[in-house]
Chain A
Amino acid sequence: MTTLVHQSEVSSPAPVPAKSLITKLNIVTGFIVGAIFCWGTYYALRAGRDMTDTHNVNKVLIISMFMWSLGFMIGIGALIGPFRWLIGKDLTPEEELYMSGEGQGMKRYFKFCTDHKVVGIQYLVAVMVLLGAGGTMAMMIRTNLARPGSHLVLPQIYNSLVGLHGITMIIAMIIALTGPLGNFILPMMIGARGEAFPRLNAVSFWLLFTAIPVLCSAWFLGGIPTGWSAYAPLSTQAGPGMNAFLVTIIIFAISTAVAGTNITTTVITMRAKGMRFNRVPIFVIGCTISVALAVPAFPTFMAAMVQTGMDRTISTGFFDANVGGTGWLYANLFWIMGHPEVYVILLPGVAALLEMLPVFTRKPLFSFPMAVAGMAGIAGMSALVWAHHMYMSGWMPALNGPFMVTTEFISFPTGLLFLVFVGTLWRSRPWLKFPMLCVYAMMWNLLIGGITGVYVSDVPLDGTLHGSMFVTAHFHYTIMGAALSGAVGAIAYWFPKLSGRMLNERASYISFWFVQIGLNVLFMGMFLVGAEGQARRVANYSEQFAGGNLVSTIGAYSVGVGMLVFLWAIIHSAGKGAIAPANPWGAKTLEWTVPYPAPVENFSEEQVVTSDPYGFGKRVSK
């Protein structure tokens, strides 16, 4: 194996285009212009309005928040390209090269940078910040629930913690893999020199970035009482913090659509010569299915939020039964997004682990077609199961039977993914490395999450389990236990590609056991109290649930410590870890042929692919 000598971070700097505005714009100008737009709009709209009227408050806040986002995007230079094109003076090649950030060192991470690797790192940092914030809120929730009758926080703060923990984690998990690795690694894996739409790539990240302060502002506007599902009409009734929530969702939905379109187009049009679809790495397929699923799913959530906004500002009454609307419309729109969204989160994590499984077992991936069929089947079926969240809503009991059939049928394609894991592991001697441990964690957690999913998909059983802590434990097993384990494994696996260094192994192992034992203790306790009859999202509970809740809280603290250890491992290893060999795991995918640091265009020559990357194993396949 070849060991790579580190090149200097700053290679020959690109020529700076003289007098071009783009050289002067960065995150600071973004904040300045965003703040001017936001406060300017706020004060202009307030003037002459009766601000004791809730509808006026909602109008002013919603418009000001959108103006912040627009202002920031203008201030960071996101609109320069289209604007120059409009006035007939398209960006010069020097300016385009400048926007790719070549030779600009750390500065490029704070600019509107079109290099997919820079965007990948920006996403990684955003994911870590969001996980940290969401995790902190989880600790508050668990501390408040440690004992019955606890008074750590008031119920209005508790309800906000639950809702903001939910949405923060959902956003973090949706972008956890397709953001950092889908941008940084994926183009390299298919032998591409970049992404199909480099500017849209940067737009998707910076839009997401503008959503974060908006979401934070919810805290200072009185929080959200609705949970992340934001059911109407509770959301119509909610205070001004709700405006921040709906603006966040709308901005995030646009960001997701932009990112999804970009990644899908890249994979379809920019694969290396010879990389037929049956030679595409499974991680690329998983990411593509995930983002392609998000592209149609999120607009329904966005539409629901636009309608909520209209109900709150101009009393349209979409969800107001008093004037002929219905909350069931909201619930349908929400869950048409909500169930596919679970798989948007899960698939990249599972696919990343499938990608590394052959590498660590040194065997070919068992039945590539079944892996693709499993993921495609899940994605296709996931669009037809949403109303299982509404069995108990009374919306349409006649559909409970059909939705029970489609929901339980989704176990079949999920089973195909397990077949691929089992088939690849069969008689193997896996190489015990941290990412491989994550494969084990994912299998166990997804098994528990999957089986309990069959329970809650059953209508008679859901009569008792729906809306209880059992459901909370179930989806945390899938989203946290399975998808986050997959994401952590993937970050560890590709860490050498992201940072040029190896992730600290000992710290990773310590973190692994704290997190995995912790989360199993945490959610087993939650299964217990849920099955016993504790409702979800309650700030207080009866003494009969005291034991299970205390166990859950202890587990949560263990997860918290484990996550901090992992955070240390990442920060420490990025700066001081052992220099990584070019291909530390001995994998056969293309990204490991790219040197570190990767050149702006990744490959110096055109890649030609002649087989899939899973040709492991000594015996020649028949």
Chain B
Amino acid sequence: METTAQSKSRSLITGLLTIALGVLAVTSVGVVLHHSSADPQPKEYATIKGTIVGPDGKTYPHAFLKDGVYPDPVSSKAHGTCATCDGGHPSWPSYGPYTHFVLPAHTYVTIDLVVYDSGGNLNTPYFGNVVGTVAGTATYDGVTKANLDPTAVEHTWTLHGVPTTTQDPLFVNVPLPMNTDSEMKAYNDDPTKLPKGHIVEFSFITGGKGEYLWNCEYPCGDTSYQGFGAVMGSAAGYMGGKVSVI
């Protein structure tokens, strides 16, 4: 017959064991979720080449970055080095090969985007304006413009802050021109043949260190509701990503 003391210590042990197992179970779930939250977005580091005088008259280091916008991630993979950016959704449009841009702080950054996708109407005409760039303009195939026709936009690159009081604000919006139906015809017939594409170049000046998010404001998701399903609404890494200022 078990004594009371034995039974008490056994209760204590099983009690502590229950807590330990419970904590372990919850922690395991956390680890699994954290693991599946591993950032799938390939990073691109801007490269600094020389200096440039900004509109404020100050001299900044000049950093450059190149990326593309594709009708599907498979195409972007074909044109870059990205190994994971199709993410299991080969039919979704995507920036590529990179969606996570790493920029140096207090730097004049120039980004070149080559755009290969079709387009249409923006949900919000406001995002047809070029905002937050040097001089409020971008060059489109060499032509400087302050806005695009909001009914003929391919995608947008809209960078905004995360909720914080310690980072410098950074808001940049650049609409991208669409490829017309005739330009897209070859791709529609054979998805390995991309159109010639349009080259968009814009520059902005970064503030201090910080984490920012960008997403596309063109409704390029599925047709379920206002074009913000699937690619737009459910996962970063295709038409949305990060900017880290370091």
Complex-state Cα separation, A222 to B25, whole angstroms: 22
Q: How many whole Å from B9's CB to the nearest CB in chain A? A: 13
Given the complex, which residues of B lie within 8 Å of A154, measured CB to CB? 37, 39, 236
Complex-state Cα separation, A565 to B33, whole angstroms: 25
Interface locus among A25-33, A235-243, A253-261: A235-243
Given the complex, which residues of B lie within 8 Å of A561, measured CB to CB? 19, 23
Q: Given contacts A560-B26, A564-B23, is CB(A54)–CB(B223) below 8 Å?
A: yes
Per the 8 Å Cβ criterion, residues 115-164 of A in contact with B are 136, 139-140, 143, 148-149, 151-157, 161
Are the CB atoms of B233 and A238 closer together than 8 Å? yes
Q: How many whole Å from A245's CB to the nearest CB in chain B? A: 14
Complex-state Cα separation, A544 to B222, whole angstroms: 37
Cβ-based interface call for A92 (8 A): no
Cβ-based interface call for A383 (8 A): no
Are the CB atoms of B230 and A564 closer together than 8 Å? no
Closest to B35 in A: A153
Q: How many whole Å from B34's CB to the nearest CB in chain A? A: 6
Cβ-based interface call for A567 (8 A): yes
Q: Given contacts A54-B229, A154-B236, A156-B234, is CB(A572)–CB(B14) below 8 Å?
A: yes
Cβ-based interface call for B224 (8 A): yes
Per the 8 Å Cβ criterion, residues 147-188 of B in contact with A are 162-166
Closest to B229 in A: A237
Are the CB atoms of A236 and B225 closer together than 8 Å? yes
Given the complex, which residues of A lie within 8 Å of B144, measured CB to CB? none
Complex-state Cα separation, A568 to B118, whole angstroms: 60
Interface of A is mostly: helix
Residue in contact with A567 in the complex, picked from B22, B34, B163, B166, CB distance below 8 Å: B22
Cβ-based interface call for B30 (8 A): yes
Residue in contact with B15 in the complex, picked from A161, A222, A507, A560, CB distance below 8 Å: A507
Complex-state Cα separation, A236 to B228, whole angstroms: 10
Closest to B22 in A: A564
Q: Given contacts A225-B234, A507-B15, is CB(A540)–CB(B26) below 8 Å?
A: no
Per the 8 Å Cβ criterion, residues 1-20 of B in contact with A are 7, 11, 14-15, 18-19
Complex-state Cα separation, A151 to B162, whole angstroms: 13
Q: How many residues of B contact A (CB 8 A)?
A: 37
Cβ-based interface call for A542 (8 A): yes
Given the complex, which residues of A lie within 8 Å of B33, measured CB to CB? 140, 152-153, 157, 161
Cβ-based interface call for B84 (8 A): no
Q: How many whole Å from B116's CB to the nearest CB in chain A? A: 20
Q: How many whole Å from B213's CB to the nearest CB in chain A? A: 9
Cβ-based interface call for A348 (8 A): no
Are the CB atoms of B26 and A139 closer together than 8 Å? yes
Are the CB atoms of B91 and A52 closer together than 8 Å? yes
Q: How many whole Å from B44's CB to the nearest CB in chain A? A: 19
Per the 8 Å Cβ criterion, residues 78-103 of B in contact with A are 91
Are the CB atoms of A320 and B225 closer together than 8 Å? yes
Given the complex, which residues of B lie within 8 Å of A567, measured CB to CB? 18, 22
Given the complex, which residues of A lie within 8 Å of B192, measured CB to CB? none
Chain B residues close to A by CB (< 8 Å):
7, 11, 14-15, 18-19, 22-23, 25-26, 29-30, 33-34, 36-37, 39, 91, 162-166, 211, 221-226, 228-230, 233-236
Given the complex, which residues of A lie within 8 Å of B225, measured CB to CB? 233, 236-237, 320
Are the CB atoms of A54 and B37 closer together than 8 Å? no
Complex-state Cα separation, A454 to B25, whole angstroms: 39
Are the CB atoms of B22 and A152 closer together than 8 Å? no
Q: How many whole Å from A607's CB to the nearest CB in chain B? A: 38
Are the CB atoms of B11 and A572 closer together than 8 Å? yes
Closest to B17 in A: A568
Q: How many whole Å from B161's CB to the nearest CB in chain A? A: 10
Are the CB atoms of A538 and B163 closer together than 8 Å? yes
Q: Given contacts A237-B225, A543-B164, A572-B14, is CB(A139)–CB(B30) below 8 Å?
A: yes
Closest CB pairs A-B (n = 3)? A568-B18, A237-B225, A564-B22
Q: Given contacts A154-B236, A564-B18, A564-B23, is CB(A237)–CB(B30) below 8 Å?
A: no
Are the CB atoms of B26 and A136 closer together than 8 Å? yes
Complex-state Cα separation, A542 to B15, whole angstroms: 39
Q: Given contacts A157-B36, A560-B22, A560-B26, is CB(A236)–CB(B166) below 8 Å?
A: no
Are the CB atoms of B15 and A149 closer together than 8 Å? no
Complex-state Cα separation, A157 to B222, whole angstroms: 20
- 4 more A-B residue pairs beyond the given contacts A140-B26, A236-B224, A239-B229, with a C-beta to C-beta distance below 8 A: A136-B26, A538-B163, A564-B19, A567-B18
Are the CB atoms of B233 and A225 closer together than 8 Å? yes
Closest to B166 in A: A543
Given the complex, which residues of B lie within 8 Å of A544, measured CB to CB? 165
Closest to A510 in B: B15
Are the CB atoms of B34 and A565 closer together than 8 Å? no
